[in-house]
Amino acid sequence: MPPRIVDLRSDTVTRPTPEMLRAMAEAEVGDDVMQEDPTVNRLQELAADKMGKEAGLFIASGTMGNLLAVLAHATRGDEAILGNLSHTFLFEGGGMAALAGVSPYPLPNQGDGTLRLEDIRAAIRSKGDPHYPISRLLILENTHNRCGGSPLSVDYTRQAGALARENGLSFHIDGARIFNAAVAMGVSALELAQPADSITFCLSKGLCAPVGSVLCGSADFITRARRFRKMLGGGWRQAGVLAVAGIVALEKMSGRLGEDHIRAKTLAKGLAEIPALELLYPDPPSNMVFARITESSHLSAPALVEALEKLAVKINVVDEHRFRLVTHYWVDDDGITQALDGFRTLLK
């Protein structure tokens, strides 16, 4: 038999669990555009409760959630302050500017994913000067993808939220992996979300649901976001077949993410023993491992990706010399061993 494929490209490659598939087959459904799908309604209430918000909105993706947040918090000509390595700035097709008409003001992300509070304060525009766009929104990412999967602490998030409020800014968290952050910090997701006016999180990454995210905030905010969701073509009909997998994800999968973090550390420890590799985050804080191929290697990162795939191991290239690996539910201890064996074979 051919070797099984160990897919470490992302936690977006996760498949529904058997329990999710059974629940999807039996889901009670209705028309969600009319807000009559009982399963969607239950998911939204559960998500809002876990985030400490008044309401939730089931949506297709985290990218949609972040765009809806921008649309609901700001208006054309406004400005949003965010990190230069943030997902919203780098990987969402410029939707903030193209579709919302809101200008991004990117600030340098620190190595731990934070933005310096003094940088945020300095970026806030004077409202009395007509030359400037209006500073309307602060966006932070937790965990921070491009900064090694780093979690932002409760204390930092509270300070950022206080700074936003003092200056009349709304505060949104791209919490695609907020449950990973909660596990990594040893706190609840609610504590991490509490300082924000809104938060979106993904069901389809480490939580293993087949599709979807939830955007949470005040009741008025979600009413505005629901209208924009419809405008963008994101109105669900009998979406309970998808929402029920999200319910299983929140009730069953969010509590096991620590296993993925442990396997990421095991993976990082094994890679660190290979002289041709340099770990960018030697002690990965969550489920992401970033590494660089040193000059002593005869392979580039794209060439390594191609060679590993022939050994049934898939990883994600970042650039010519760097790559990323992400642990998740469908990669067990044997998968980590298989991946490390592949690296050792190619980088002797």
Per-residue pLDDT tens for 168-219?
Answer: 999 999 999 999 999 999 999 999 999 999 999 999 999 999 999 999 999 9
For position 127, what pLDDT does the model report? Answer: 86
Q: Are residues 214 and 99 in the same domain?
A: yes
For residue 128, pLDDT over 90 is answered with no
Q: Are residues 316 and 197 in the same domain?
A: no
| Prior bond of 39 cis (ω within 30°) | no
Q: What is the span of the domain harbouring residue 85? A: 18-254
Q: Are residues 129 and 192 in the same domain?
A: yes
Is the pTM for the entire model greater than 0.95?
yes
Among 254, 277, 293, the domain boundary falls at: 254
Amino acid type, 30? G
Among 217, 235, 254, the domain boundary falls at: 254
Domain presence at residue 102? yes
Domain presence at residue 96? yes
For residue 299, pLDDT over 90 is answered with no
For position 3, what pLDDT does the model report? Answer: 76
The domain spanning residue 206 has which CATH number?
3.40.640.10
Domain presence at residue 1? no
For residue 296, pLDDT over 80 is answered with no
For position 2, what pLDDT does the model report? Answer: 67
Q: Are residues 77 and 170 in the same domain?
A: yes
Q: Are residues 98 and 112 in the same domain?
A: yes
Give mean pLDDT, residues 69-73. Answer: 98
For residue 323, pLDDT over 90 is answered with yes
For position 48, what pLDDT does the model report? Answer: 98
Q: Are residues 241 and 269 in the same domain?
A: no
Give mean pLDDT, residues 34-57. Answer: 98
Q: Are residues 268 and 213 in the same domain?
A: no
Using the 8-state DSSP alphabet, how is residue 238 labeled? S
Domain presence at residue 233? yes
Domain count, the chain: 2
Q: Are residues 226 and 279 in the same domain?
A: no
**How far is residue 89's CA from residue 84's CA, in Å, rounded to a whole number?**
6
What's the mean per-residue pLDDT of the chain? 97
Q: Are residues 79 and 150 in the same domain?
A: yes
Among 254, 278, 312, the domain boundary falls at: 254
The domain spanning residue 303 has which CATH number?
3.90.1150.10
Domain presence at residue 337? yes
**How far is residue 44's CA from residue 247's CA, in Å, rounded to a whole number?**
9
Q: Are residues 148 and 206 in the same domain?
A: yes
Domain presence at residue 273? yes
pLDDT single digits (tens) 159-182: 999 999 999 999 999 999 999 999
Q: Are residues 87 and 181 in the same domain?
A: yes
**How far is residue 96's CA from residue 145's CA, in Å, rounded to a whole number?**
19
Reference 177, options 152, 210, 211; nearest CA is 152
Q: Where are the alpha helices (DSSP H) in the chain?
A: 18-25, 38-51, 62-73, 87-90, 95-98, 117-123, 154-166, 178-185, 189-193, 219-231, 240-248, 257-272, 301-309, 333-346
Domain presence at residue 137? yes
- Round the CA-based radius of gyration of the chain to a whole number and report it: 21
pLDDT band, very low/low/confident/very high, at 297 (cuts 50, 70, 90): confident
Q: Are residues 226 and 298 in the same domain?
A: no
**How far is residue 190's CA from residue 257's CA, in Å, rounded to a whole number?**
16
Domain presence at residue 217? yes
